[in-house]
Structure 1
Amino acid sequence: MARGLVVSAAGLSLVSTMCLSPAWAQSADKRNFIRDAETEALIQDYIRPIFKAAGVRSSAVELFLVEDPSFNAFVATGQKLVVNTGAIIDSKTPNELIGVLAHETGHLAGDHQTKLREQVDRANTLATIGAIAGIGAAIAGSASGSPDAARAGGGIVAGSSEAARRSLLGYQRSEEMAADQSALTYLKKSGQSAKGMLTTFNRFADNTLFSARGVNPYLQSHPMPRERIDLIEREAKASPYYNTKDPAALQARHDMVRAKLVGFTGDLDTIMRRYPPSDTSLPAQYARTIAAYRNGNAQGALTMLDGLLRAQPKNPYFWELQGQIELENGRAGLAVPGLRKAVAFAPRSGLLKIMLGQALVETGDPKTVDEAVKNLTIGLRDDPEVPIGYRSLARAYAIRGDIAMADLATAQGEFAAGNYADAKRHATRAQAALKRGSPAWLRADDIVSYTPAKPG
């Protein structure tokens, strides 16, 4: 499942599918990255015990969510863990998704991305050496008038490239097997079942992407399904935790997040098919509420939210949705009370603090500007890659009359969005008005002094 690096079968050239800048909108390869406090909190709770078992520091790994219906998760260069929304939606239990995350943690802990790069470089070198030798032989054969020698030289070129490719694919298969074994170890060490992992890999085996029919096993980057499943099944059933079930509260959270993602990413037919009106469960109500909001029925969505809030008055994400609907319909004053409750019930969420700060600024009330600055500053400290948060912070400072700090916030926002030239311009202007050596001056100086890394 690890697809952070892809090797081209034609020329063994290295292609990075993840080249993430501070920008949050769209990556160069069209991946649609999304942010959601509820989903991210759930995934963090899933990976925390796995990371602990693996000896991986959570703070060193960046989590990214991708709006993609395919069941996939992978690691990318730079300690990045990427999870498709499809992997969450299609996992019926937390344990199914946890098994996938444990596998990817095996890649992280083993630093497989770095090692794979080294193997690619080695394979490219071997292929190049072989190609040079083959070309030399072909030229010599042509010069001597020997067509057989010239053809032999061409064969050397093709053969060296194919040998290098097979060597690299063999290495990738060994990494995948190692990640499977590591995942089983982490699950056992953290007292969790590998049954969900087995269920997931059986699903992969049924997928044509992993079909073994008519496929040369030496030309695959992943182990063949039966070989893989046999290993997982044997180890999973040997664990004393094989029949351990997910806690009911965790299953409930999982079901809510699945419904939320379907509500926000699915079309109306899909939502109603998965969560018909006859389904009165909270996840179904949640999905239909979001569907109403997305289809322009803001008042209907708010009415439906009232029912959800009566059922779970301390659910921060119901209050967040209420605030989001009000804010996006130009009613910032009505958004603030709900967002204050969202922050109170989920005080560790930087994203919720940023949304509250944004709403407070949008009210235009000078009396709440200090509260806005406080929430935005703390929220951005915890979650620094949210450009809209810096724009709101700049407006809050401007309302205060603190233009230097407004310029600094603008510079930070442009930097987070990857607009380095504009970021440097605003940071330079901020520096000129800030006390030299102060924390704010130093933050501006970091931006002014920043040199983007050259690609490659």
Structure 2
Amino acid sequence: MRLLSHLFAALALAVLAAQPAAAQSVLRDAETEAFLNDIADPLVEASGLAPGNVEIVLINDPSINAFVAGGQAVYIHSGLIDAADTANEVQGVIAHELGHITGGHVIRSGEGYSQANGISILSMLAGLGAALAGAGDAAMGIMMAGQTAALSSILSFSRTQEAAADAAGAEYLSNAGISGRGSLEFFGKLLNQETRRGFRQDDEAGFWRTHPLSGDRINNLRAVYETDPAWNEPSDPAIEARFQRIKAKLMGYVAKPEFTLRDYPETDLSTPALIARAYAYHKQAKMAEALDAADALIARDPQDPYFLELKGQVLLESGRVEEALDPLRQATELSRSEPLIASLFGHALIATEDKANFEEAERVLRSSVARDRYNPFAWYQLGVVYAQRGDMPRARLATAEQQVMKREYVLALRSAAAAEAGLPTGSPDWLRAQDIGFQARALIEQQCEMRDKRNCQSRR
């Protein structure tokens, strides 16, 4: 039974890893997304993929992990950013995950599970035959051996894919002229964790792993990296400085304030420390201290849109809405209407409850969703503006946009139908309402295939 439980645990882990990011907690931040795209773009290009078609998504999860789950998207856990010391280490992880994408490993994973399922089913049938013949002990032995073989098949298939992704990642780093030092250093961190936890290649904990142990990976890759012309290539100091800002911002946002203030004490006057403390103070409702940190950052670089965004966010979330408008307007202009910053500015304009600001809010928010449709917060704010103006068809269309992103497909279908009925026939918004309706209906049908169709149709 322990062997069976291990098998089902491995299968469950694979299913969970493949869950769409929308089902998890996605962290969105303009500065962080720009940074991740900038460090990934040369690797994406080196892999033969188009940089604009590969998305790097940050997941709010403290574990040290990264994965791909279909399509051309790399998902990185916040815990991995926290564990990494350099941007070069993160690039090593991204290169590895790109190897999974170019290798089609998510699609081909079905081959491994199909083979394992075949072994498992055959062993259970053989065991059942032995049981019917009266050989109960033999039946149990046959089934347990079959389950062990099935699990071994899955793990062997997974390790093969990991080794292939390692090799591909090394090639992409080399082609991009990026050193593999960071990759080895990050594997070294994983190896230290395994050593502390007592994992060995030949023990049970090691056997049930889907990845080769980090010591093996380091040994296999070291010779490749050390002979590569990019081995001694130094990291870009500007990139590394940006990485330290990202780490500090992430910790300030997700960690408990006392932990942030421990790692970034008041004696630390560096830019990353000021960023981290601004968020920590904000979470503690120490607005004066948070604003002092934000003002100190702006004094260092008045043209940095992310510093202005930080100050505007603190003011807005502290109820000082009118004061938040100026820094957020500047941040929007300096960032060339970056969608996430613009959506926050649009929200601030609406929060003033001054109808004189609604025209600007609509313009800002429409620009935001035109460049980034996958922002339910911006769609909600835009819907508020439309409703205030009495434009209910477009308000319902904005509601449908956010509902389909939140997987509320039945509600999205109804909202899209209501929007379509009130919009001018053939207009771009009318066509979009139709598209959302078709999309929601198709997704509802997919859900129905996995549930009771009769009940699903009655809910519709």
Q: Same fold (TM over 0.5)?
A: yes
Q: Distance in 2 between matches of 1:76 and 1:210?
A: 30
| CA separation of 1:373 and 1:18: change in aligned 2, threshold 3 A | farther
- Which residue, out of 269, 274, 277, partners 2:263? 274
- Which residue, out of 22, 43, 50, partners 1:50? 43
| CA separation of 1:163 and 1:214: change in aligned 2, threshold 3 A | closer
Q: One-letter code of the match for 2:91?
A: I
- Which residue, out of 78, 102, 116, partners 2:95? 102
Please give the secondary structure, in 2, of the residue aligned with 1:440: helix
| Structure 2: gaps (5+ residues) | 451-460
Residue 407 of structure 1 corresponds to which residue in structure 2? 396
- Which residue, out of 416, 420, 424, partners 1:435? 424
Question: Is 2:161 the counterpart of 1:168?
Answer: no
| CA separation of 1:22 and 1:424: change in aligned 2, threshold 3 A | farther
| CA separation of 1:271 and 1:182: change in aligned 2, threshold 3 A | same
Residue 4 of structure 1 corresponds to which residue in structure 2? none
Higher mean C-alpha displacement, 57-66 vs 163-172: 57-66
Q: Distance in 1 between matches of 2:207 and 2:254?
A: 38
Residue 285 of structure 2 corresponds to which residue in structure 1? 296
- Report deviation, 1:10: 2.9
Question: Is 2:190 the counterpart of 1:204?
Answer: yes
Question: Is 2:76 the counterpart of 1:83?
Answer: yes
Residue 64 of structure 2 corresponds to which residue in structure 1? 71
- Report deviation, 1:350: 1.6
| CA separation of 1:429 and 1:201: change in aligned 2, threshold 3 A | same
Asked whether the equivalents of residues 400 and 413 of structure 2 are also in contact (C-alpha less than 8 Å), the reply is yes
Asked whether the equivalents of residues 204 and 210 of structure 1 are also in contact (C-alpha less than 8 Å), the reply is no
- Report deviation, 1:318: 0.9
- Report deviation, 1:297: 1.2
Residue 445 of structure 1 corresponds to which residue in structure 2? 434
Q: Distance in 1 between matches of 2:419 and 2:329?
A: 31
Asked whether the equivalents of residues 18 and 76 of structure 1 are also in contact (C-alpha less than 8 Å), the reply is yes
Asked whether the equivalents of residues 201 and 213 of structure 2 are also in contact (C-alpha less than 8 Å), the reply is no
Please give the secondary structure, in 1, of the residue aligned with 2:373: coil
- Report deviation, 1:430: 1.4
| CA separation of 1:58 and 1:131: change in aligned 2, threshold 3 A | farther
Question: Is 2:377 the counterpart of 1:388?
Answer: yes
Residue 272 of structure 2 corresponds to which residue in structure 1? 283
- Which residue, out of 29, 33, 37, partners 1:40? 33
Higher mean C-alpha displacement, 306-315 vs 70-79: 70-79
- Which residue, out of 336, 358, 371, partners 2:325? 336
Asked whether the equivalents of residues 251 and 276 of structure 2 are also in contact (C-alpha less than 8 Å), the reply is yes
- Report deviation, 1:121: 2.2
Please give the secondary structure, in 2, of the residue aligned with 1:192: coil
Q: Distance in 1 between matches of 2:190 and 2:339?
A: 35
Please give the secondary structure, in 2, of the residue aligned with 1:199: helix
The within-5 A match list for 1:4-153 is: 9-11=6-8, 13=11, 15-18=14-17, 23=22, 27=23, 31-139=24-132, 141-142=133-134, 147=135, 150-153=136-139
Structure 2 length-normalised TM: 0.89
Q: Distance in 2 between matches of 1:439 and 1:266?
A: 43
Q: One-letter code of the match for 1:206?
A: N
Residue 253 of structure 1 corresponds to which residue in structure 2? 242
Please give the secondary structure, in 2, of the residue aligned with 1:200: helix
Q: Distance in 1 between matches of 2:52 and 2:164?
A: 24
Residue 155 of structure 1 corresponds to which residue in structure 2? 141
- Which residue, out of 210, 215, 218, partners 2:203? 215
Please give the secondary structure, in 2, of the residue aligned with 1:10: helix
| CA separation of 1:323 and 1:60: change in aligned 2, threshold 3 A | same
Q: One-letter code of the match for 1:326?
A: L
Q: One-letter code of the match for 2:140?
A: G
Residue 342 of structure 2 corresponds to which residue in structure 1? 353
Q: Distance in 2 between matches of 1:346 and 1:308?
A: 17
Asked whether the equivalents of residues 205 and 211 of structure 1 are also in contact (C-alpha less than 8 Å), the reply is no
Please give the secondary structure, in 2, of the residue aligned with 1:16: helix
Q: Distance in 2 between matches of 1:231 and 1:338?
A: 51
Asked whether the equivalents of residues 22 and 418 of structure 1 are also in contact (C-alpha less than 8 Å), the reply is no
- Report deviation, 1:34: 1.9
| CA separation of 1:437 and 1:84: change in aligned 2, threshold 3 A | same
Asked whether the equivalents of residues 339 and 372 of structure 2 are also in contact (C-alpha less than 8 Å), the reply is yes
Asked whether the equivalents of residues 22 and 415 of structure 1 are also in contact (C-alpha less than 8 Å), the reply is no
Asked whether the equivalents of residues 212 and 225 of structure 1 are also in contact (C-alpha less than 8 Å), the reply is no
Higher relative contact order (Cα pairs below 8 Å, separated by 6+ residues): 1
| CA separation of 1:116 and 1:161: change in aligned 2, threshold 3 A | same
Question: Is 2:185 the counterpart of 1:186?
Answer: no
State the Cα deviation string for residues 290-335 of structure 1 (Å, max 9, x = none).
1111110123211221111010112111111111112212233222
Q: Distance in 1 between matches of 2:7 and 2:168?
A: 32
State the Cα deviation string for residues 79-107 of structure 1 (Å, max 9, x = none).
44211112112221110111111111111
State the Cα deviation string for residues 408-429 of structure 1 (Å, max 9, x = none).
1122122222222222222222
Q: Distance in 2 between matches of 1:304 and 1:288?
A: 7
Q: Distance in 1 between matches of 2:235 and 2:314?
A: 33
State the identity %: 34
Residue 456 of structure 2 corresponds to which residue in structure 1? none
Q: Distance in 1 between matches of 2:258 and 2:314?
A: 22
- Report deviation, 1:210: 8.3
Q: One-letter code of the match for 2:305?
A: P
Asked whether the equivalents of residues 94 and 254 of structure 1 are also in contact (C-alpha less than 8 Å), the reply is yes
- Report deviation, 1:364: 2.9
Higher mean C-alpha displacement, 286-295 vs 266-275: 266-275
Aligned-CA RMSD value: 2.3
- Which residue, out of 238, 256, 266, partners 2:227? 238
- Report deviation, 1:370: 3.0
Residue 327 of structure 1 corresponds to which residue in structure 2? 316
Higher mean C-alpha displacement, 242-251 vs 204-213: 204-213
Asked whether the equivalents of residues 21 and 59 of structure 2 are also in contact (C-alpha less than 8 Å), the reply is no
How many residues of Structure 1 are paired with residues of Structure 2 in the alignment?
437
Asked whether the equivalents of residues 313 and 324 of structure 2 are also in contact (C-alpha less than 8 Å), the reply is yes
Structure with the bigger percentage of helix? 2
Q: Distance in 2 between matches of 1:312 and 1:413?
A: 36
- Report deviation, 1:59: 4.3
